[in-house]
Amino acid sequence: MTAVVHPRQERSGFARYRHSLWLLTTRDLKVRYSTSFLGYFWSILDPLVMASIYWFVFTQIFHRGAGHEPYVVFLLAGLLPWTWFNGTISDATRAFTKEAKLIRSTKIPRTIWVARLVLSKGLEFLASIPVLIIFVLISFATPTPAHLQWGAFLFPLAIVIQAVLTLGVALIVAPLVVFFRDLERAVKLVLRFLFYASPIIYGLADLPRGFQFWGAFNPLSGIFSLYRAAFFPTELRWFDVAVSVVMSALILLIGLLVFRRTISTVLKEI
C-alpha cells in the first residue's frame, strides 16, 4: 500500500530542511568571523584592495576608464558579485572533503551542503552593498530617478540569476572533486582565467566587435550588466541578459543531474 504524505508533513519537512540550511549557513559565518578581529570587514577588504589597484593602474598609469566614470564604481559593481561567485566555487571544491564525517552521519538532503555555500557567500555580498553605495555618493554618481527605479528592479534580478548560476556550477564541482582531486587546482586556474574573461575591469562594449558576441555567452556578462544598469545604463544589453538567464538555468539543470547521479558514490568515497 502506498503511504500518503499529509500536506502538513510535507510543509514541516520543507521547513526542517530550510531550517537546516539556515543553521549551516549561520554556522559557517560564525566560524569564519568569530576569531577574526576585523570580522565583517574581511568580506569587503579583498574587493576594495583589488578595486584600488585596478583604479590606480588603469586611470593613473594608462589613463583608461573613459566611458566608465566614476571607474571605481564601475569596478566595484563587478568585483563585489565576482567575489561571491569566486568564493562559493572555491569553497565548493572542499564541500564534501572538509566535513566528510558530519555529511555521512546526517540525513538532511546533501544539496544543502552545497547550497549553504551559495547562501553564506551571498549574505556576505549583500553586506558589502553599502560599500558600493558609499562610493556612489562620494563619486557624485548618484543615478537619476529613472535610473534608480530601473536599478532597484534589476539589482534583485541580477542576484537571483547569479544565485542560480552559482548553485549550478557548485553542484557540478563539489561531487566531481571527490573523484578527481586534481580538479581543485584546475578550478582555481579556470576561475583565474574567468576573471579576465569576464567584463569586470572592462565593459563588454570595450572588446573588439567580434569578441563582443562570444563574450555574451559568458553568463556572468549579462549578470554584471544588470548590476551596473543603475549607474551605467549603456552597459545593459538585453541579449546578454537573456543569454545569462538561459545558460544559468541550463547549468543548474546539469548540476542537479550530475549531483543526483554521483551523490551515492560520493558518500562511499568520502
- CA 55, CA 63: separation in Å to the nearest integer? 10
Q: Is residue 191 part of a domain?
A: yes
Distances (CA, A) of 27 to 13, 49, 111, 139, 252: 21, 27, 17, 37, 25
Q: Which domain holds residue 165?
A: 19-269
Please give the model's pTM, rounded to 2 decimal places: 0.85
Q: Predicted confidence band at 56 (pLDDT cuts at 50, 70, 90)?
A: confident
Q: Is residue 161 part of a domain?
A: yes
3-state secondary structure the chain: CCCCCCHHHHHHHHHHHHHHHHHHHHHHHHHHHHCCCCHHHHHHHHHHHHHHHHHHHHHHHCCCCCCCCCHHHHHHHHHHHHHHHHHHHHHHCCCCCCCHHHHHHCCCCCHHHHHHHHHHHHHHHHHHHHHHHHHHHHCCCCCCHHHHHHHHHHHHHHHHHHHHHHHHHHHHHHHHHHHCCCHHHHHHHHHHHHHHHCCCCCCHHHCCHHHHHHHCCCHHHHHHHHHHCCCCHHHCCHHHHHHHHHHHHHHHHHHHHHHHHHHHHHHHHC
Above 70 in pLDDT, residue 109?
A: yes
% of the chain residues with pLDDT over 70 = 83
Q: Is residue 250 part of a domain?
A: yes
Above 90 in pLDDT, residue 34?
A: no
What pLDDT score does 78 carry? 94
- Residue count of the chain, please give it: 270
What pLDDT score does 165 carry? 98
Above 60 in pLDDT, residue 92?
A: yes
- Give residue 144's region: left, alpha or beta (phi > 0; psi -120 to 50): beta
**What does 224-237 look like in DSSP terms, one character per residue?**
HHHHHTTT-GGG--
Q: Is residue 10 part of a domain?
A: no
Cell 555555500, located at residue: 117
Question: How many domains, the chain?
Answer: 1
- CA 257, CA 196: separation in Å to the nearest integer? 29
Residues 64-74: tens digit of each pLDDT: 665 677 888 89
Q: Is residue 120 part of a domain?
A: yes
Whether omega before 109 lies within 30 degrees of 0, making that bond cis, reads no
Q: Is residue 4 part of a domain?
A: no
Q: Is residue 2 part of a domain?
A: no
Cell 543569454, located at residue: 243
Above 50 in pLDDT, residue 10?
A: no
Q: Predicted confidence band at 107 (pLDDT cuts at 50, 70, 90)?
A: confident
Mean pLDDT in residue range 198-202: 92
Q: Is residue 43 part of a domain?
A: yes
What pLDDT score does 254 carry? 97
- Give residue 63's region: left, alpha or beta (phi > 0; psi -120 to 50): left
What pLDDT score does 1 carry? 41
